[in-house]
Structure 1
Amino acid sequence: MAQPPNPKRRSLSLPNWRSGLPEDLLESIRQRLTSGHDAVSFRSTCSLWCAAIPFVTFGPLLLLPFDLDSVRVGFYCVSEKVLSKTLPDVCGKVACGSLCGWVALMDEAASVTLLNSFAGAHAPHVELPPVGEHVTAASSSEHMSKVHGWWVLHPTNGYGDADVVDRAIKLEDMGDVFFYEIMLSASLDAAGHECVAMAMLGCSTEVAFYRVGVDNTWTLLDTKLEFSVGSIVHCQDKFLVIDCTGEIFVYNSNAVGATPTVTLLPSLSPPMGLYHRSYLESNGELHIVGAMVSTFHETQSFTYSNVIYKCNIHDRTLEWSKVRDIGDQTLFVSKHFNESFSGISVSKYKENKIYMSEPLYGDPYDLVYRLEIVDIATGASEVKPVQEKMQGSEALDWI
């Protein structure tokens, strides 16, 4: 004969782990998570689990290109794993920047979303205003306008007469036309919504900025540069706007309500012979990563050695000094985006190294994503395959 249900047993319920974990259990989990790959899997469960495991103790992941019509995104971990993650908000958008786990995404209407890519299925996001015609006028010499919510290019034949056919700007071309890269002054996790987004335009001497939680639209800032902007770096609480020749201007916005300005950093041209420059901040100093190239005309070949220089932008005398040792630090350099960063070496990553998202001089027709690891002390490098390319584009950025 079946026993009647025990009313005391019925009243008991399993704990709701999604609402929080005991502190001792969290500590036990922290000790067992040895890679960013495992941390992402744990943090993606929900927002509470995301907050329970800080990401600063893990090495970054490399964001791989994703299908513009898909919701699946791939991240490569140095432990030679590829983590596939579902992010519905990426569908119909292209990446145009990242910082501390937040990815800037732009759609065909040139509207921008900041998405926390490691915070669960319902990832928090912040909507930035779409570009206006004042920004499009600064980002391209061609005339553009919005037609039924989409941007259309009205080309000319060079004599002022309109061409026969207008052309809708495709999603994959949005970065080249509008916001090539967006940099944040701080992680939105740390600063709430009080941070500045600085945008490098397609091909312009101007930049656009937006103060999250303060402004209603993007504001253009004339940098007074002679050549187009090539990089934007956030260093010592300041934005550095760098043109394609290496001239550096400091973005100033300290006074409340005052119009931001830019000031030239004099006598800080790039080291002679340094090519493929990438700028980043490390320990409060500006670093420049590149390659010294030697050409051999007899054999029509060249060789290159990876080098790194640094400068303190607050020194009275500004100069680049060569770096051969960064101690227990590791540098992460992105080739697709100009933004890069550094961090204390963690499990799986080697210290005093540069991890480059792509080799500086890789084969553009290579069918495999490849990672280049540079020894700062010797300049030697090794190249290792990541995975087969799903698209013809480069790996996007370290996150």
Structure 2
Amino acid sequence: MACVRSPLDWSSGLPRELREIIAKKLPSGHDAASFRSVCWPWRAALPFARFAPLLMLPFDPTPTSPSPPEEKTVSFYSLVEEKTVSLPLPELHGKVVVGASRGWLALVDEAAAVSLLNPFTGSRVALPPADQRVAAASSRSVEMVGVGNDGGGRWVLRCSSGDVSSVTLDKMREVFFSEIVLSTTPGGDGCAAMAVLADSSEVAFCRVGDTGWTLIETNVECCVSAIVHCHGSFLAIGCLGEVSIINIAGDNDATPSPARPVSSLPEPAQMCHRSYLEVNGELHLVGIAIRAFHGEWPFGHHAVVYKCDLAAGETPVWSMVTDAGDMAMFMSKNFNSGFGGASVSKIKSNCIYLSEPTYGSDHSPELVDISTGMSEKIACPTMKGSEALCWIRPNLWT
């Protein structure tokens, strides 16, 4: 489907704080008022736009929240500027974020309508809505009730006990999509989306322009916990560490190839959380391992990193990473996935920027040294009882 809203002019579509950040990266003689005339130099002069992610902070998406939609803002923490900036994003009113990929957010509303939003340009693209088939793949029994001539209606969940409850925004990731991952930016040809379904060994697939989702069996032993896109294929990763390849290369109208299980990673002892990402064409795993100090509370924890070359054959070998060179990795527990990029000013190399809750009621992202596994807190606003949603790299060109 085509974008339903044209990209905003960059000089007016970004808040003042972000314009100032970008202006600092422009060649000498340019300022924030001359954006239109310097778009080509931007591509070379703005490592910030491609490689300096922002941490998206929690927001209230509910339609009944006190602020009217036009006043809705979302805050992001900038590592480069070491401060929080806010963007007016009324498009997030009444929607829940179910993915952050290629600089775009995947959103679902209470009608299970799915859309993609570039929060930095305002561009939007529609994806097919979720339906009973998607929910059934997650072993959920749902139906739409109260549909009138003007559409409307709402989803309800029927439990095995016979109880019926409304599928509200906070339940969308449990009933329909846990995470949506993109193969490329929606502005180009061939953009495909793959979705993790809650408690399911199946995944849902579509291309921009499709009218419905296609369910694909991944053949993992239990359920899919994460999806990563690598070189024309989606990698579905099971909760036990299995990796299944789904090839989507070729004709845009063709059905993806059947899933092909290739590898399993023996889980390191006492690893409590795993996230996956693609770095330089290789699948990487970042795991958080627990260290108990004589049984005392609180426990210590450290990060371990593995990589897997999928071109190595049917049973590729995982190896531990102790030096990622000039790369920095950005991990989000909320979507169990992440991405890597060459470090830029104020972004430390050979490190993991980890959005992970610590023990207790507060949440503070951490910076982890890959060579030692040791971590330190990032100096950003502490979130009482909440977790940051995700890291997102601004994409200003699509």
TM bucket, shorter chain: 0.7 to 0.9
Preserved CA contact (<8 Å) 1:198 1:209: yes
2:310 counterpart SS class = coil
Q: Which residue of 2 aligns with 1:216?
A: 211
Corresponding residue of 1:65? 58
CA contact (8 A) 1:97 1:183 kept: yes
Matched, 1:154 2:158: yes
Report the equivalent of 2:193: 197
* Displacement of 1:377: 1.5
Task: Please tell me whether the aligned partners of residues 156 and 165 of structure 2 are also in contact (alpha carbons under 8 angstroms).
Answer: yes
Instruction: List per-residue Cα deviations over 1:182-211 (Å, max 9, x = no partner).
Output: 00001224xx25211001112211110101
- Structure 1 residues 31 and 19: CA distance shift in structure 2, 3 A: closer
Q: 1:73 to 1:19 in 2, by over 3 A?
A: closer
Residue number in structure 2 paired with 1:134:
133
Larger-Rg structure: 1
Aligned partner of 2:283 among 261, 282, 286: 286
Residue 259 of structure 2 is aligned to residue 266 of structure 1: no
Does 2:388 correspond to 1:395? yes
What is the CA distance between 1:225 and its match in structure 2?
A: 2.1
Residue in 2 aligned with 1:314? 311
- Counterpart secondary structure, 1:85: strand
Q: Which runs of 5+ in 2 are unaligned?
A: 1-8, 12-19, 64-68, 147-152, 393-398
Q: Partner residue of 1:242?
A: 237
Supply the AA of the counterpart residue of 2:240.
Answer: T
> Secondary structure at 1:261's aligned position in 2?
coil
Matched with 2:347 is 349
Query: For residue 201 of structure 1, what is the amino acid of its counterpart?
Result: L
Normalised to the residue count of structure 1, the TM-score between the two structures is 0.80
SS of the residue 2:311 aligns to: coil
Kindly tell me: are residues 364 and 188 of structure 1, through their superposed partners in 2, closer, same or farther at Cα, counting changes over 3 Å?
Answer: farther
Distance 1:248-1:63 versus aligned 2 partners, 3 A rule:
same
Greater relative CO, 1 or 2 (CA 8 Å, sep 6+):
2
> C-alpha separation between the residues in 2 aligned to 1:226 and 1:250?
14
Query: Could you say which residue in structure 1 is the equivalent of 2:76?
Result: 75
Gapped regions of structure 1 (runs ≥ 5): 1-17, 21-28, 36-40
Return closer, same or farther for 1:291/1:258 CA change in 2, 3 Å cut-off: closer
- The alignment's TM-score, normalised by the length of structure 2, stands at 0.80
Q: Distance in 2 between matches of 1:106 and 1:295?
A: 40
Distance, in Å, in 2 between the alignment partners of 1:145 and 1:370 is 39
The SS at the match of 1:156 is coil
- Structure 1 pair 171/286, CA: closer, same or farther in 2 (3 Å)? same
3-state SS, counterpart of residue 381 of structure 2: strand
Q: What per-residue deviation string (whole Å, max 9, x for no partner) do you get for residues 74-125 of structure 1?
A: 1111132111000121110010101222111110011111001111xxx110
Shift of 1:308: 0.8
Is 1:271–1:320's contact at 8 Å kept on the other side of the alignment? no
Query: Does the CA contact (< 8 Å) of 1:30 and 1:53 recur in 2?
Result: no
* 1:34/1:347 contact within 8 Å kept: no
Distance in structure 1 (CA, Å) of the matches to 2:158 and 2:379: 42
1:374 maps to 368
| CA distance 1:63–1:46, shift in 2 (3 Å) | farther
Q: Alignment partner for residue 117 of structure 2, among 108, 115, 118?
A: 115
Aligned match for 1:225, one of 220, 226, 234: 220
Q: CA contact under 8 A between 1:42 and 1:50: conserved in structure 2? A: no
Residues 355-391 of structure 1: CA distance to partner in whole angstroms, max 9, x if unpaired? 11235xx13521xx4120011112111013422437x
Give the letter aligned to residue 33 of structure 1.
Answer: K
Per-residue deviation, 1:134: 1.1
Aligned length: 350
- Give the drift of 1:46: 9.0
Most deviating of 251-260 and 60-69: 251-260
Paired residues of 1:72 and 1:84 also in contact (CA < 8 A):
yes
**What's 2:299 paired with?**
302
1:220-276 per-position Cα deviation (integer Å, ceiling 9, x unaligned)? 111122211111111222111011111110012345434531001135444454331
